[in-house]
Structure formats: structure tokens, C-alpha cells
Structure 1
Amino acid sequence: MNDARTDAIANGGATDDNVDSGPIRVGAMLFTLVDPTPGFEVAYNRWYERDHFYGGVMVGPGTLSGRRWVATRALKDLRFPTEPSGHSPVTNPIDAGSFLATYFIDAASVANHFAWASEEVHKLYAAGRGFEERTHAHTVLYTMRAAHHRDVAPIPAHLALDHPYAGLASIHVDRADGVSTTDLDAWLDGDGRDVVLGGGSPVDQVLSWRPIIPDREGPMDLGSGPGGKDRSLLLCFLDQQVEEAWDHLVAFSEAIEAAGIARVALTAPFTPAIPGTDTYCDQLF
């Protein structure tokens, strides 16, 4: 790995030809995985996409983009490990969480955005714009660490939520003793690159994150916590539907553990939600 790429990783920036180091850079992400109460699937879906998606995040300062994803019952059945493990499980039980929303926040506006968001959510609930019939499985803020791209002329990280990817896989890992976030990204950009981004890979890019550990605030229970200081999150953006790419993602997860880099806490697949429709609402449970 050349010095320029090593420096980029160490600074939490791009790893491919400075494609992610321009004036627009992802600084943080809100990752919110939620279950509607059975019987309220359609009502929740319409409230979230028609109001909360915008009023709760998108209109906030520095929001670059947002996208919603779905874990159907069939996709939940692919998750592994099959039982929650470690000191801080991501989902408990393993199949908790049906709707995922991911939002990217501009690096220059992270503090302003989350200061706004912490007040705005209380204002929305006070104005009757909340939704009680839901349960958060895992709602956590993450800091962007690095981007790892498959292609020579890659899609920049800040466009990942706008590009029409066919699927997404989230891989939460707990790094091994002595393995830093920089070490994890160096492995992804070095020895692990062929495993996840080699020829014919359905993974177009992998974005790595670390959780923001401080206490969370909100008018509702936000589900599982961010994990410890050894927790990292890898978001794999897919050119193929997740069912077609799943063997590759399993092999990638196994390679992380075999290399002694980290233990996989949860690998979970998602398909894109279809805006303006209630598609998948009858397939969640």
C-alpha cells in the first residue's frame, strides 16, 4: 500500500485517488433500525417517509443525503451470527429491526446538525408528529473513517445513498485486542481487498465507521447501544440484490475473523425501500 493511501486512511479520509477528499465529505451518519408494531406496518411506513424522514433529519443543517432500506422476513433469516453475542449485541433478538434509514452528514456540519437534531426531535413529538407504535432496534450515530472502492473510477462515498444500488449489507464487528480502526482500514485496503472488492465482486464500495459513544438523547428508547470502543461498522453497497451477493458477504465476514482482525457481531442484508409505495410492508414478520 503506497504512502498516500496509508495517509488517507490514517486521517479518516478517502483511500482511492482522493475521490472522497473534495470539498464535500461525509463526516457522520445516523443509522436507525426500527420495527413497526405488528398491524401498524403501513401507517409507520407512510409516517416515516412522508414526514419524519424529512422533518426529523433531511431538513437539518448539513444533511447530504438519506436512504431507506428494508429487511424482509426472508432477509432477516440470513443474518448471522444467529444468536446475539458479545458484550453489546447490535440486535436482540437477532431478527429485530425491519426498516433501516441511513443519513450522511457533511463533515463541516456534524456538530451543528446533531445540536439541531437533539432539539428538533423533542419539538416534533411535542407537536404531535411522533409515532408511538414502533420499537428501535439500533439507532446510533457513527463517524466516517474511510472509503474502500472496487473500481478505478469509483462512485464517491458522499454519493452512495443517491446511487441506485441494488442492496446493502451492514457488518458490525468488534475489533481484536490491539487492532485499531486504522488497522482495520489498512487490512481492507491491503490483504482483505481481494476478498471483498476483487474481480467480479458484487460489492462496489465499503464505508467504514466507528460509533459515537456518548449517551444518546431522545423522547423514546433507541434500542441497543453503540457498543464499546472496539466496535466498527462496515457498510457494503451492492450492485446485485443481496440474495445473489450473500455468499460473497459470508465469505468476507469469515475472512475478517480468520485474519484475526475482528469478531463479527452482526452481518445483516437490506433491500432498498421503494419511495411512495408500501412495498414489503406485508413481508416484515
Structure 2
Amino acid sequence: MTRPYAEVIGDPISHSKSPAIHRFWLEQLGIEAEYRAQHVTPEGLAAYFESRRDDPDWRGCNITIPHKQAALDLVGDPGGIRATIGAINTVIRGEDGGLIGTNTDAGGFYAPIAGLDLAGRHALVIGAGGAARAILFALSKLGIGRVTIQNRNVLKAAALLSSFGLKGDAVPLGSPVPPVDLLVNSSALGMKGQPALEIDLASLPDDAVVYDIVYAPLETDLLAQAHARELATVDGLDMLIGQAALAFELFFGAEPPRDRDDELRELLTPDRGPGQAS
């Protein structure tokens, strides 16, 4: 007997904590379903979606690097994500049976900083990929005053600012950090198996917030440097769990038990004691 399932796809994928998150919620709610990790290369992305179109047990997938923009060309876009965020991180089956894309990254990014007043403030975003698009979309809705983007491809970063109607500037990766109110690493730099993020936070004011979407390792060098400065931080699990919660409801038709977040974080960080995750 088969069971409904959803999965996360990416290249690489072994680092993903999404299976642990969704399996925890499925168990807590007593839902008979599965959540898997599936390694999908860029060359195999189209074939992956084709193989899932006629699978009645497949409820959808989450998408991680490097597929968040490429997947847009392979699924439906009834919500107009291409014209707004320009990247998707979730695909589900629509009522007509077709595959449709959406984005839960923006909501996941927003949730941990919902209490901040960012209107008119200055943010630095590192990276200009699919995650950056969701983050810039959220910042635009929060009324951010100015955004500086650091990226290897400065023209790509400048185009992103323009597409979201944001004031700011695009500078090369590794440029000096301006005294911003919010610093967000939206790139894979600092992730296990990826190059380090070389950065100096000395210019940040004491009330700045440092947000790293990388969660493997959870205590990145960026966050360690912020903690040494006693700056407020948001780690990658906050965004990951937030976006996963929105996707879980789309996949399985039930709200996840967010009152168990502390237990979930301990499950995801076995090498850290209770309360150590920032």
C-alpha cells in the first residue's frame, strides 16, 4: 500500500533538514504520509517534474539550490510569482492536476523579524539568487528605505534592485560593509562544503540585526562574529522552519504544531544544548 508523499529537491541535497522537519510534524499529527529528499541535478530537473505529474501519491516538493528560478519554466504560475518574486521554492498539484509553483521563502524570512520597524532603514543583502529574490520582495513590503546588495555579478544585483523598485546600490562581493540596520546572508557562502563568507562586521551599529539563512552549520562564522559583537541574530533554522510550515499545510492540508518548535530545534541541532540556538 502506497502513502502520500512530498519531497525536497536540490543539488546538493544531503545537507537538507527539511525531511526531519516535515517528518516530525507528520508524526506529531499522526498523518500517514512521507517526506523525502531527492537529489536532482539541473540536467534532470525537467525529467523530475515529468515523472511526478502522473504520480497520484506525490503531493509536491520544496526546492532548494540551484533550482528556484529554473523550476519556474517547468510548472504553472497562476499566482504570478514570476512577475513578483521571480523564483519559487514550492511546487504543488493544482485542482486541475497540473503542477503549480509558489514561494514560501518570503513568508519564512519575514516571520522572525516581523516585530522590527524597518521602514526607511538600510539593509545589506549578500547574494542575488532565488532566496535573495524572496528576501528583497519581503523587504520591499516592509518599507525598507535602502538596500545594498553584494554579489559577484554586480549587474545582476543592480537589476534585482530595479525589479523590486528598491533604492540602493549593487557592489562587488567582499566590499566593505556599510553601517546597516539589517544584514542578511542570502547566499550559500559559509555553508558546509561551500566557500567561506569573508566579511568584517566592525562597521555595524550596536542595534543592528544579522540574519544568516545558512543552517548547516547553524552557528556560521557570520553569526559567530555577530555574537562576539553581542548583536541580535537570526539563524537559518528560523527561516527554514517558517517556510516549511507554510509548505507543509499546502502538501498535507494541516497546520503543523508550531507550539513544538523548541523540541523541533533540539532535534535538528543534536550537538547543541537546549537554549543554545540563537
TM-score normalized by the length of structure 2: 0.26
Answer 1 or 2: which has greater helix percent: 2
Answer 1 or 2: which has greater strand percent: 1
TM-score normalized by the length of structure 1: 0.25
Higher relative contact order (CA 8 A, sep 6+): 1
